Chains A and B, each alone.
Chain A
Amino acid sequence: MIYDYLYNLTGSEALAAFIQSLLPLFIFILPFALFAVLMERKVSAHMQDRLGPMRVGYHGILQTVADILKLVQKEDIVPADTDKPLFNIAPALVFVGSYGVFAAIPFSGAFVGANIDLGLFYIVAISGLIVAGILMAGWSSNNKYSLLGAMRSAAQIISYEIPTMLVILTIVMITGTLNLYTLSEMQTGYFWNWMIFGGPDFGISKFIFIPLMIIAFVVIYISTLAEVNRTPFDIPEAESELVAGYHTEYSGMKFAMFFLAEYANMFAVSAIVAAIFFGGFQSPFGYLGNTFGVHWLIPFEQFFWFTAKGLFFVFVQMWLRWTLPRLRVDQLMALCWKYLIPIAFVDLLIVGLITVL
């Protein structure tokens, strides 16, 4: 894998680990965040019969670069009575929480940041840092609307982690592993081996699993949508208590970090859903590398499929954002506690029974 390749290249463990940890950030996430902002604006524009950014670069490709340049050169305003250490750490914490998830996600057969056996568990734990960051941001802003927005956002994220974990438990019961890399490897072959179609073991249980897996997929997709604060669950982002929520008082580079963290988070949860249910980096119908005997092509193909699936789910998230109205806070909570959790729980029980029997 890449770590070994780098170790052979540099001869030093620390350097190899260092470069390997930076790779996802610079090669993938930052360009992806730039691309995702533009994609959101273009997708929303075309859905609304208009054109989106057209002036900067060809058809607006360089628009995000212009936005980032603008944000970087802005004055960093820190309001007077804020809690300065918390105020400064909060965006960094949110960014770390979003980015840290990528360590356990397999980008291709040859690259996974850290092949942890507790992959999924680690992911859920690290994204808990986001909640801490949001609460810090809301509290230290010294603004009662920010505080209320932050508390609502924290309540939303914490509540929706429960259905996510229940669905993850369901998958764990079927496959027996928390390691995302092994999960993706298990769904090898063709697309009917994917988890959404019942898993790689062929038998009567596979067909019983299909409706259960589809329900689990819908539940986890909705819960992760709420975890990243996207419409219809975007109370913290848009008009929370009529102002902008927990990041009201941030400007310049710190705001840019919240901004990029949101898009990184979107891709992270899309990648997780793709890895769990849709085969991660596996191709739906075999590899060109295998057919032509060009074996070094396979990791690149897998990377392509991984990106394609992630981008597709990100597109569906954007699609939902521009179609649906917003849920009110109490309806959001009711959806989680009264509908998603019971459904996920029942799903878990049935899958557990089938696995045991």
Chain B
Amino acid sequence: MGLVTVLIGMKVTFKHIFVPAVTIQYPDVKPELPERERNRLYVNMDDCIGCDQCARACPVDCIEIETVKSLPAEDLGKTSNGKKKALWVTKFNIDIAKCCYCQLCVFPCPTECIYMTDVYEFSEYNRNNLIYNFVTLTPQEIEEKKDNFAKLEAEKAVQKAAAAAKAAAEKTAAKPAPKTENKPPENTGSVN
């Protein structure tokens, strides 16, 4: 009786010799991936408005974004769906080694500039090469934007200080006035 079950098992394996293989020869033949496939991230910097939503949504904190406000006179252009950009993005690093490919950063992006491509063969010899820098400004430009912003802030601070000093001066100058202020409204009130 035990022999019969052995023979039944042997029949199954024998039939499988003639079934064609279900495997593919990988490096020569690559499988076709569906359209929603989640592989390496890509950011289209032309559309990025620096809103930081993707960095906040990421559960493993693999996106680092730093932005600098632009001067009011500068025109950074519009994104592809019509939003006006107002921030210079000075740092946009994605550590793709930390990324857990969960796609939570793709959904909050208002301009759909961060998305997952179908690239899955991106190994590197050096782990530091897996930190992807997406900014398109050169380091000098970044310095320049930061300086501009710092100058703008400094100017604003100076202006604010001047305005505050002025307001304080006006206040001290206007202080004796309250005792005499009661009379003029009565005089002006009687003249029609």
C-alpha spacing A51/B6, complex, angstroms: 25
Q: Is the CB of A319 within 8 A of B19?
A: no
- A293 and B23 CA atoms in complex are apart in Å by 50
Among residues of B, the one whose C-beta sits closest to the C-beta of A325 is B9
**Number of residues from B at the complex interface, CB < 8 A:** 15
Proximity string of chain B (1-42) to chain A, C-beta cutoff 8 Å, 1 when within and 0 when not: 001001001101110110111110100000000000000000
> B16 to chain A: which residues have CB within 8 Å?
46-49
**From B14, which residue of chain A is reached at the shortest CB distance?**
A319
Q: Is the CB of B13 within 8 A of A47?
A: yes
- Choose one: A43, A45, A324; the contact of B6 (CB below 8 Å): A324
A297 within 8 A of B: no
Beta-carbon nearest neighbor of A55 in chain B: B25
Indicate whether A319 sits within 8 Å of B10 (C-beta atoms), given known contacts A43-B17, A46-B16: yes
Known: A46-B16, A49-B16. A320 touches B23 (CB 8 A): no
Looking at the assembled complex, report how far the CB atom of B13 sits from the nearest CB atom of chain A, in whole angstroms: 5
A50 / chain B contacts, CB cutoff of 8 Å: 21-23
* Across-interface contacts of B10 in A (CB, < 8 A): 319-320, 323
A289 to chain B, nearest CB (A): 33
Closest Cβ neighbor of B23 among chain A residues: A50
Q: Is A22 an interface residue (CB 8 A)?
A: no
A46 with B6: CB separation less than 8 A: no
A322 touches B19 (CB 8 A): no
CB–CB A49/B6 < 8 A? no
Chain A residues with CB under 8 Å of B14's CB are: 47, 319
Interface size on A, residues (CB 8 A): 15
A66 at the interface (CB under 8 A from B): no
Q: Would B25 and A47 count as touching, CB distance under 8 A?
A: no
- Beta-carbon contact of B13 and A49 below 8 Å: no
Considering the complex, which residues of chain B in the window 133-166 have a beta carbon less than 8 Å from any beta carbon of chain A? none
Annotate A100-143 by CB proximity to B: 1 below 8 A, 0 otherwise. 00000000000000000000000000000000000000000000
Residues of chain B within 8 A (CB-CB) of A46 are: 16-17, 21
Known: A323-B6, A324-B6. A51 touches B13 (CB 8 A): no
* A324 x B9 contact (CB < 8 A): yes
Complex Cα spacing A259 to B13, Å: 25
Interface string of B43-71 (1 = CB under 8 A from A): 00000000000000000000000000000
Pick from A51, A218, A319, A323: contact of B23, CB below 8 A: A51
Residue A54, interface by CB 8 Å: yes
State the Cβ distance, B18 to closest chain A Cβ, in Å: 8
> Which residues in window 293-319 of A have CB below 8 A to B?
319
Closest to A54 in B: B25
B25 lies within 8 A of A322 (CB): no
Docked CA distance A208–B25 (Å): 54
A51 and B25 contact, Cβ closer than 8 Å, known pairs A323-B10, A324-B6: yes
**Chain B residues near A45 (CB, 8 Å)?**
21
Chain B residues whose CB sits within 8 angstroms of the CB of A324 once the complex forms = 6, 9
Q: What are 22 inter-chain pairs, A to B, with CB distance below 8 A?
A: A43-B17, A46-B16, A47-B13, A47-B16, A47-B17, A48-B16, A49-B16, A49-B19, A49-B21, A49-B22, A50-B21, A50-B23, A51-B21, A218-B3, A319-B13, A319-B14, A320-B6, A322-B13, A323-B9, A323-B10, A323-B13, A324-B6
Interface residues of A (CB under 8 A from B): 43, 45-51, 54, 218, 319-320, 322-324
Q: Interface residues, chain B, CB within 8 Å of chain A?
A: 3, 6, 9-10, 12-14, 16-17, 19-23, 25
Given contacts A45-B21, A49-B20, A320-B6, 5 further A-B contacts (CB under 8 A): A46-B17, A51-B21, A51-B23, A323-B6, A323-B9
